[in-house]
Chains A and B, each alone.
Chain A
Amino acid sequence: MAETVEIRWHGRGGQGTVTAAKVLADACLSGGRHVQAFPEYGPERAGAPLRAYNRISSKPLRMHCPVTHPNIVVVVDPTLLDSIDVKEGAPDDAVFIVNTGREPSEIRKKMGLKDTQKVFTVDASKIALETIGRPLPNSCMLGALAKASGIVDLDTLLADVKASFGGGKFSEKIINANLDATRRGYEEVKEG
């Protein structure tokens, strides 16, 4: 893994994208790594496109600005592919992880990705409906991201997904459903 990994999340308000970035930051603390997680600040509106960012590094993180050249781009809401340039600033070896039921090759073509760029797909919304019962793809996307990037192992991630539901506000059922979604994201993500 490179010394510093920069991630850009594209989602819509209310999908748990910012929470996913936070959980990832916690999970990546293992091994003495330095982490950052922050959203793009603006009015918080359900359904509006938003970006969130992560930096994960073996050295102290001093950069305090949005990620403009992401190594990994996570598209939590596939409808954003039609309205936002999610490839903006992504380098030739960038990895894209998209929540969609379509095949990676189809998405690669639709997005016009370079041969050197990788694309992974996972039907996170469907998995979320089957596990959580609501179209909240964030837990599933975390699992897919862990598999596609290798930045965190599944057990560590599951422990942090569980911890993020701490405080007694959520039922055991909801917590387990999110753990299932994370696990299935890890197992069902496809590269193409």
Chain B
Amino acid sequence: MGKVLAVTGNQAIAEAMRQINPDVCAAYPITPSTEVMQRFASFVANGKVDTELVTVESEHSAMSACIGASAAGGRVMTATSSQGLALMWEMLHIASGMRLPVVMTLVNRALSAPINIHGDHSDGMGARDCGWIQLWSENAQEAYDNLIQAIRIAEHDDVRLPAMVCLDGFIISHSIESMTFLPDEVVRDFIGEFRPKHPLLDVNNPVTYGPLVLPDYFMEFKRQQHEAMLKAKDVVLQVAEEFEKVSGRSYGLFEAYRLDDAELAIVVLNSAAGTCKDVVDEYRDRGVKVGLLKPRLFRPFPYKEVAEALSGAKVIGVLDRAESFGGFGPMYMEIASAMMSNGTNPVMIDKIYGLGGRDFMPEHAAQLIDELKEILDTGKVKLYKDYLGVRE
């Protein structure tokens, strides 16, 4: 087995990138990007990897360079956060539309204004419809494991789509936790050699990437992208099964925690899920039937499986660390869609929490469970969408 070390989330990611040893990394490594690329750049400088590191003048150019390198036939990675991802937005669609398996780490941080670089999911949720696979991570261990698996998922023949791995800014990225690393050769064997498909550098078999496609065929392209995305779901499970064999750690489409007989359910992403699990245990000790569902795969969203896992819940509280101004939070909308297509009709409330790094404390989780319990007992909902942990 691998080594147990106490590291920051950023170190864990940089270490995974060292072990993956991509052909090309293009990045714009200043704030709001985290030290992931700075640490990786030192691996490049010290000859620990063979990667061509392309330092560019903006995040838009970083993603453009990734696209070029990936289309040329390389295994390509990058990392960013917050405004950096926002500036990449145009190019994110190009990467997915060209079916390029670029793998990116997204350390989730708030979007300005006002300026704030703390933990917040607005950046990742804003990229929801860009055609990238999204894997979300509770802690440094999951971020490391997800990044290694993302390579296999993105590059799978049935998929060939870009993927991003999300972890919470500061709360995970800058905090030290103990975690287990895989040995270098295990990671190398697990991801295997990169097999380019239709590379531009194969000059004997010239191809065109990203041509003009008029209304006669554009929809067929988009349909194919959607179908590739749907196929990613099975691939995520296959890769997780193989990953468990080499790591002993098991992953699914989501984590269901004490959900089997739960009347009350919390749905929450990333680091806050850990805090909630401790509080769920406390309520379980008092006989309250509460459980938790933590999505891992957000795109493609596993509607059917999530709905089945939540089908016993009578009241569901969804936690969203991103705002959709004037609408429900992005996670709430997914869960509502899932439950509607399942035909079950639980009461569902949405809580916006933790924006801009506002601490999510056990008391907040307890407050939510108390409210879910009250709804179960009285059948009355005060507000379907509200804030949690905000000054009035």
Q: Which residues of A contact B (CB under 8 A)?
A: 21-22, 25-26, 29, 32-39, 41, 61-66, 68
Indicate whether A35 sits within 8 Å of B361 (C-beta atoms), given known contacts A63-B278, A64-B139: no
The 10 tightest CB contacts between A and B, nearest first, are A62-B274, A38-B175, A64-B271, A37-B176, A25-B6, A35-B178, A41-B170, A64-B274, A65-B361, A62-B277
Chain A residue with the shortest CB-CB distance to B176: A37
Q: Give 27 A-B contacts (CB < 8 Å), ordered by A residue.
A: A21-B176, A22-B176, A25-B176, A25-B178, A29-B4, A29-B5, A29-B6, A29-B178, A33-B178, A34-B178, A35-B177, A35-B178, A36-B175, A36-B176, A37-B175, A37-B176, A41-B118, A62-B138, A62-B277, A63-B275, A63-B362, A64-B139, A64-B168, A64-B172, A64-B175, A64-B274, A64-B360
**Chain B residue contacts of A63, Cβ below 8 A:** 274-275, 278, 362
Indicate whether A35 sits within 8 Å of B6 (C-beta atoms), given known contacts A61-B177, A63-B362: yes
For the complex with contacts A35-B6, A41-B118, 19 further pairs of A-B residues with Cβ separation under 8 Å are A22-B176, A29-B178, A32-B4, A34-B177, A36-B175, A36-B176, A37-B6, A38-B174, A62-B274, A62-B278, A64-B168, A64-B171, A64-B172, A64-B175, A64-B271, A65-B275, A65-B360, A66-B361, A68-B361
CA distance A65 to B272 in the complex (A): 8
Tell me, yes or no, whether B357 is within 8 Å of chain A by CB.
yes
Q: Which of B167-190 contact A (CB under 8 A)?
A: 168, 170-172, 174-178
**Chain A residue contacts of B175, Cβ below 8 A:** 36-38, 64
**Interface-centre pick from A32, A39, A61, A63 (highest chain B CB count, 10 A):** A63
Partner of A62, one of B6, B178, B275, B360: B275
Q: Please give the distance in Å from A152's CB to the nearest CB on chain B.
A: 13
Q: Which residues of B contact A (CB under 8 A)?
A: 4-6, 118, 138-139, 168, 170-172, 174-178, 271-272, 274-275, 277-278, 357, 359-362
CA distance A29 to B181 in the complex (A): 14
Partner of B176, one of A32, A35, A64, A66: A35
CA distance A25 to B174 in the complex (A): 14
CA distance A32 to B180 in the complex (A): 11
Chain A residue with the shortest CB-CB distance to B172: A64
**Chain A residue contacts of B361, Cβ below 8 A:** 65-66, 68
**Chain B residue contacts of A39, Cβ below 8 A:** 174
Q: Please give the distance in Å from A65's CB to the nearest CB on chain B.
A: 5
Q: Please give the distance in Å from B3's CB to the nearest CB on chain A.
A: 10
Chain A residue with the shortest CB-CB distance to B281: A62
Indicate whether A41 sits within 8 Å of B172 (C-beta atoms), given known contacts A29-B4, A35-B6, A36-B177: no
CA distance A38 to B271 in the complex (A): 14
Q: Please give the distance in Å from B30's CB to the nearest CB on chain A.
A: 16
Chain A residue with the shortest CB-CB distance to B177: A36
CA distance A65 to B277 in the complex (A): 13
CA distance A41 to B278 in the complex (A): 23
Q: Please give the distance in Å from A116's CB to the nearest CB on chain B.
A: 24
Indicate whether A65 sits within 8 Å of B362 (C-beta atoms), given known contacts A29-B4, A29-B6, A41-B170: yes
**Chain B residue contacts of A22, Cβ below 8 A:** 6, 176
Q: Please give the distance in Å from A38's CB to the nearest CB on chain B.
A: 4
**Chain A residue contacts of B178, Cβ below 8 A:** 25, 29, 33-36
Chain A residue with the shortest CB-CB distance to B354: A65
Q: Please give the distance in Å from A37's CB to the nearest CB on chain B.
A: 4
**Interface-centre pick from A62, A64, A65 (highest chain B CB count, 10 A):** A64
**Interface-centre pick from B6, B174, B275, B277 (highest chain A CB count, 10 A):** B6
**Chain B residue contacts of A65, Cβ below 8 A:** 171, 275, 359-362
CA distance A33 to B4 in the complex (A): 10
A64 touches B4 (CB 8 A): no
Q: Please give the distance in Å from A59's CB to the nearest CB on chain B.
A: 10
CA distance A41 to B6 in the complex (A): 19
Chain A residue with the shortest CB-CB distance to B117: A41
CA distance A174 to B170 in the complex (A): 31
**Chain A residue contacts of B278, Cβ below 8 A:** 62-63
